[in-house]
Structure 1
Amino acid sequence: MLQFETKVDVNKLKGKDFLTLLDFSSDEVFYLLELASKMKKEQKEGIISNVLQGKSLGMIFENASTRTRVSFEVGMTQLGGHALFLSPRDLQIGRGEPISDTARALSRYVDAIMIRTNSHEKVEELANYSTVPVINALTDYYHPCQGLADLLTIYEHKGTFEGIKVVYVGDGNNVAHSLIIGAAKVGMDISVASPSGYEVDPDIVQKAQEVAALTGSNITITNDPIEAVTDADIIYTDVWASMGYEAEQKDREAAFAPYQVNRELVSYAKDDYIFLHCLPAHRGEEVTADIIDSPHSVVFDEAENRLHVQKAVLATLIK
């Protein structure tokens, strides 16, 4: 079980929104990781928690999901609460109701709202009008729950963040953004290699650099995948065409071909590197089967950890 020296007033986190890891201090990130690790250990030991007994989570999904939906629903159940799945077909949002009205109405029914949508502005508006915590389960700019799961997985397999180099190879998307911020929060070095025109958002990198200046993290942005992967402890990639970019698939295949995580590329990493992927994965595109299905791959540990970090977030934020 993870244990960190943190000083966190948990009461101040009650009722807080979880929109991006930038909104949480390094100590608060460490606290959530420690709580997630504790909850994971207790779940494996069959210890039942009712910390959210009688509480309800409204889950708004505007695009498809496997891991997010299942992990949040199961997480609420394991904590004694209840989750409600809400698709656009179930909500008046799909018929033009303002997000502000949806936020104010749902706040009268549930104890927290989780949303998965392509627009980060929509999540911010929802949080602005909601009187209960809003949790970002994925937007076009951020994926903070995935970022926490990545950090937990890295620590479980490496035992530290100090001196660890994580490398992200591929599209500069929401997963990359949250990984950069998460690495900066815990003082871990990170390199990101993307093709020209597909780099991470410079404003987000600047915000992460400000955090890194306090924690000692080194952030490197490059177009050279070999430079990035050299001496890597962690290699991470994601699909080349995220949801919303499917029409660009062919163009992206051409641009990203040199960034495929394959046997040649990983030869530049440390011998004991681990491989991460947020899933779903396209074997033969962003990663070859012999890498994602190798002993170096811990992608299903990573997927499981979504459950535990989200339980930690829910238990911490819901009053």
Structure 2
Amino acid sequence: MAALSGRDFLSLADLSPTELQELLQLATQLKSQQLQLQCNKVLGLLFSKASTRTRVSFTVAMYQLGGQVIDLNPNVTQVSRGEPVQDTARVLDRYLDILAIRTFAQQELEIFADYAKIPVINALTDLEHPCQVLADLLTIQESFGTLAGLTLTYVGDGNNVANSLMLGCALVGMNVKIATPSGYEPNASIVEQARAIANNKTEVILTHDPELAAKQANVLYTDVWASMGQETEADDRLPIFQPYQISESLLSLAEPDAIVLHCLPAHRGEEITEAVIEGSQSRVWEQAENRLHAQKALLASILGAK
């Protein structure tokens, strides 16, 4: 994966189809321990949003590679006192080897990348969640043995996960259907970008009909109906999104061997039922584990681990 050495990873669109496939192959090799890589580097985690899976998986991945991690909690750094992003970026550049940022605005991430010479990884913004989708694709590949030609249906809010799923599916040759309530569609520019990547070889479909979207799906995927920063909207969203719940009924419309994914945390009884998330078709826990392996592959590739 020399092609990724020293590069930023701000969006799945930063990868070519070949690079994404090779990254997933490397993750598979690292997970099975066919391959063991080491790099004595320092990763900084600058997280303005709460995190369980992203924080822990990045930390464990870096430790397993033989590196170190510094948790740069904004509440105990000068970031919380308004230090300009560009100043923080230029200072951290002189201490760290790589930086993973979890924040609200994609623009803030891009400013960091512009001012820091070290690689910057998007660990989540309001626009995209590319590291999550690396793990999602790895999980789907493990379940079906392939990605090309499959259909993923995402049901719920057209949020950052939906945005990154469209790009990821287009890159690996999967069809993707996004079913949302009217007014909650994914980012229009990313829809265009995903369709350009798909280049009419696969489909990127938007719909307001979850049942129609679920038909012939190999993967049913959902996320919370109110993301971080939208908590005050949660009660108002409940009746709007209720028809978009992944239930046993909706799952029955998908292919018989379909799997169910959720990026977590899950609100059982809202976007997904208890029976589905705990059922035999759920791959949610494998999906969560794969955050570790996918991000380890990403770190190893960018840092040139050997």
Task: Work out whether the TM-score is over 0.5.
Answer: yes
Count of matched residue pairs: 304
How far apart, CA to CA, are the structure 2 residues paired with 1:12 and 1:282?
A: 39
Measured after TM superposition, the shift of residue 90 of structure 1 is: 2.3
Amino acid paired to 1:313: L
Counterpart CA distance in 1 for 2:49 and 2:19 is 29
C-alpha contact (below 8 Å) 1:120/1:141 kept by paired residues: yes
> Once superposed, what is the RMSD of the aligned Cα atoms?
1.1
Alignment partner of 1:14 out of 2, 5, 24: 5
Contact 2:215 2:254 in 1 (8 A): yes
Which of 226, 229, 235 is the aligned partner of 2:214?
229
- 2:91 is equivalent to residue 91 of structure 1: no
Distance, in Å, in 1 between the alignment partners of 2:43 and 2:293 is: 16
The runs of at least 4 aligned residues of structure 1 exceeding 6 Å deviation read none
Contact residue 48 and residue 78 of structure 1 kept, 8 A: no
SS in 1 for 2:177: strand
Length-normalised TM-score, structure 1: 0.93
Percent sequence identity is: 51
Q: Which of 20, 27, 31 is 1:29 aligned to? A: 20
Per the alignment, in what secondary structure is the counterpart of residue 142 of structure 1? coil
Name the counterpart of 1:283.
Answer: 268
Matched residue, 1:112: 98
Residue 86 of structure 2 is aligned to residue 100 of structure 1 = yes
1:150-299 to structure 2, matched below 5 A, reads 150-213=136-199, 216-299=201-284
Q: Distance in 2 between matches of 1:48 and 1:317?
A: 16
Report how far residue 12 of structure 1 moved: 3.5
The correspondence for 1:52, drawn from 39, 61, 67, is 39
The separation in 2 between residues aligned to 1:238 and 1:162, in whole angstroms, is 23
Structure showing greater relative contact order (alpha-carbon pairs closer than 8 Å, 6 or more residues apart): 2
Q: Structure 2: how far apart are the matches of 1:212 and 1:288?
A: 32
Deviation readout 1:183-234 (Å, 9 max, x if unpaired): 00000011110000111111100000000007x2211110000110011110
Give unpaired runs (5+ residues) of structure 2: none
Tell me the distance in 1 between the aligned counterparts of 2:129 and 2:240: 24
Shift of 1:11: 3.2
Shift of residue 31 of structure 1?
Answer: 1.0
Residue 250 of structure 1: CA displacement?
1.2
Q: Does the alignment pair 1:300 with 2:285?
A: yes
Aligned partner of 2:282: which letter? S
Aligned-partner SS, 2:124: coil
| Distance (whole Å) between structure 1 residues aligned to residue 197 and residue 75 of structure 2 | 40
How far did 1:48 drift?
5.2
- C-alpha contact 2:30 2:36 (8 A) present in aligned 1: no
CA distance in 2, matches of 1:301, 1:117: 25
